[in-house]
């Protein structure tokens, strides 16, 4: 009778990284879909044609994650290694174009919630990916924030608007707080799913509370 448990076998050990990778991919693709919908809906409301809507939705969905991967040296970026994220971004943008065309307008509260969900998901995945590659807490927090806000910045530039991250101060702050929470929990527990859950709750809750109560960081007088 062998004294080696199944958890100590090479197959069990190998399954842990693959489970972690699958969890990360599922969450990252979900965030891609949410940002694709939100970006495309914003483009529809700005009066862009179908190509413009697809381009904006595509950029919002993928830019933050691609920038994260470039800064981490993970090349080519995950979005370009498999078609899943590209297909998701285009499909989400197309769906938003069709739905907005049918119902005429998506309520502002729905768009804000979708944006907050995507922000929180990308903040925690960006932070988790940086942490898994040995980055320190400062880098983990910054890359989580960049992943969450990079697409939105390009959206606003394409739509000729001042980026939301520069005008609604708790937007970027919520992303950074979620990324920081993810990094802290990862450093103490080494449990990626727990860390990402905590980071998501922090980022999403802070963003929605800020919208509900009109919170802003101090501004110059």
Which residue has better confidence, 173 or 5?
173
Res 178 pLDDT > 80: yes
Q: Report helix, strand or coil for 136.
A: coil
As for how many domains the chain has, the answer is 1
Res 104 pLDDT > 70: no
The answer to whether residue 155 sits within a structural domain is yes
The answer to whether residue 189 sits within a structural domain is yes
pLDDT one-digit tens code per residue, 146-160: 999 999 999 999 999
The answer to whether residue 6 sits within a structural domain is no
For residue 1, what pLDDT is reported?
A: 44
Res 182 pLDDT > 50: yes
Range of the domain at 26: 18-213
The answer to whether residue 7 sits within a structural domain is no
The answer to whether residue 209 sits within a structural domain is yes
Which residue has better confidence, 8 or 101?
101
The answer to whether residue 220 sits within a structural domain is no
d(CA 209, CA 221): 24
d(CA 147, CA 50): 26
How much is the mean pLDDT over the chain? 86
pLDDT one-digit tens code per residue, 34-87: 899 989 988 998 999 999 999 999 999 999 999 999 999 999 998 999 899 999
The answer to whether residue 110 sits within a structural domain is yes
The answer to whether residue 100 sits within a structural domain is yes
């Amino acid at each position: 009778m062998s004294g080696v448990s199944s958890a100590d076998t090479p197959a069990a050990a190998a399954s842990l990284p693959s489970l972690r990778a699958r969890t990360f991919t599922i969450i990252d693709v979900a965030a891609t879909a949410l940002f694709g919908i939100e970006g495309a809906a914003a483009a529809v409301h700005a009066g862009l044609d179908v190509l413009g809507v697809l381009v904006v939705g595509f950029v919002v969905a993928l830019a933050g994650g691609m920038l994260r991967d470039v800064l981490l040296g993970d090349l080519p970026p995950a979005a370009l290694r498999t078609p899943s994220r590209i297909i998701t971004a285009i499909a989400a943008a197309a769906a938003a174009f069709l739905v907005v065309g049918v119902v005429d307008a998506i309520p502002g509260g729905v768009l804000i919630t979708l944006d907050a969900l995507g922000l929180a998901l990308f903040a925690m995945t960006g932070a988790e990916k940086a942490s898994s590659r040995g980055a320190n807490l400062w880098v983990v927090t910054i890359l989580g924030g960049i992943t969450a806000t990079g697409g939105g910045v390009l959206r606003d530039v394409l739509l000729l608007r001042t980026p939301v991250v520069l005008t609604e101060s708790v937007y970027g702050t919520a992303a950074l707080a979620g990324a920081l929470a993810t990094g802290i929990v990862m450093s103490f527990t080494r449990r990626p799913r727990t860390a990402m859950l905590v980071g998501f709750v922090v980022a999403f809750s802070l963003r929605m509370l800020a919208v509900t109560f009109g919170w802003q960081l101090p501004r110059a007088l």
